[in-house]
């Protein structure tokens, strides 16, 4: 192979090889340090405070409202004291939410 062809190939290939090893922004860098790798601290806080993860629409469309979505309008829904207590127990984590409903 002629030396000028080899030099040309190196000049053409070098930028592509260099770009392959430049990662720059790593979108998942640091996530492996989390307690639950797929959840941010905000998401963890929301779950601990029973604020959910934005899945209420899917649940409610399938007939399963979350406990806060039942307790907040409890007067309008006409819930009994027992029903309110059961909902509060779910929020506190005293109940698994099975409740014998559906």
* Domain positions in the chain: 39-95
Residue 18 pLDDT: 57
Give the per-residue pLDDT at 102: 42
The pLDDT, as a whole number, for residue 17 is: 63
Q: Which residues of the chain have pLDDT under 50?
A: 97, 100-102
Radius of gyration of the chain (CA): 28
Tell me the C-alpha distance between 65 and 68, whole Å: 8
Query: Which pLDDT score is estimated for 78?
Result: 94
Q: Is residue 13 helix, strand or coil?
A: helix
Quote the pLDDT of residue 2: 75
Say how far apart CA 3 and CA 57 lie, in whole Å. 67
């Amino acid at each position: 192979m002629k030396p000028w062809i080899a030099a040309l190939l190196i000049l053409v290939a070098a930028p592509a090889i260099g770009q392959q090893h430049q990662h720059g922004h790593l979108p998942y860098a640091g996530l492996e340090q989390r307690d639950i790798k797929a959840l941010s601290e905000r998401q963890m806080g929301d779950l601990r405070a029973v604020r959910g993860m934005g899945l209420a629409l899917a649940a409610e469309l399938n007939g399963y409202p979350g406990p806060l979505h039942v307790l907040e309008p409890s007067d309008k829904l006409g819930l009994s004291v027992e029903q309110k207590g059961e909902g509060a127990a779910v929020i506190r984590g005293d109940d698994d939410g099975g409740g014998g409903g559906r």
